[in-house]
Amino acid sequence: MPLLNRQIIRFGIVGVVNTLNYYLLYLLFLHIIGFNYLVAHILAFMLSMIGSFFMNTYFTYGTKPTFKKFFQFPLTYVVNITVTTSSMYVLVDLLEFNENISPFIASLIAIPFTFIVSKKILVPKGEEKQSS
């Protein structure tokens, strides 16, 4: 299987695990702690981003984590958080979607952007993993 296909599949697996992690944190902040849905979204998003960094570094791209990559990685999520937060607002406030379901829809919208940008940060030229 070509390397890009393996990376896309692994990115999808990491995405599912990370989305579940995010969603559990979101529900915790929303229903148990009682935060506003946007505050719950942003907090859960930031915490799950740390897990995403390590899962994508080791599993998706097969590279070593570094402090430089760790501090650059949030830059990959600037587009993601902008897309998901905007989508959440449109879905919940404008289209009156359920605030429990909207994070899933918003996450799906942002997936392609996140893959492209995270690969650029986590896999510098010449560091591409060739084996499975």
**How many Å apart are CA 15 and CA 9, to the nearest integer?**
10
**How many Å apart are CA 44 and CA 42, to the nearest integer?**
6
- Cβ atoms of 111 and 83 within 8 Å: the answer is no
**How many Å apart are CA 78 and CA 114, to the nearest integer?**
9
Confidence of residue 113 (pLDDT cuts 50, 70, 90): confident
- Cβ atoms of 61 and 132 within 8 Å: the answer is no
Q: Is the pTM of this model over 0.85?
A: no
What pLDDT, in 10s, does the model give residues 58-110?
999 999 999 999 988 888 778 888 888 999 999 999 999 999 999 889 988 88
The residues, any chain, with a CB within 8 Å of residue 32's CB and separated by 6 or more, are none
Residue extents of the structural domains in the chain: 3-122
What pLDDT, in 10s, does the model give residues 7-40?
888 988 998 898 899 999 999 999 999 999 999 9
For residue 44, count other CB atoms closer than 10 A to its CB. 22
What pLDDT, in 10s, does the model give residues 91-105?
999 999 999 999 889
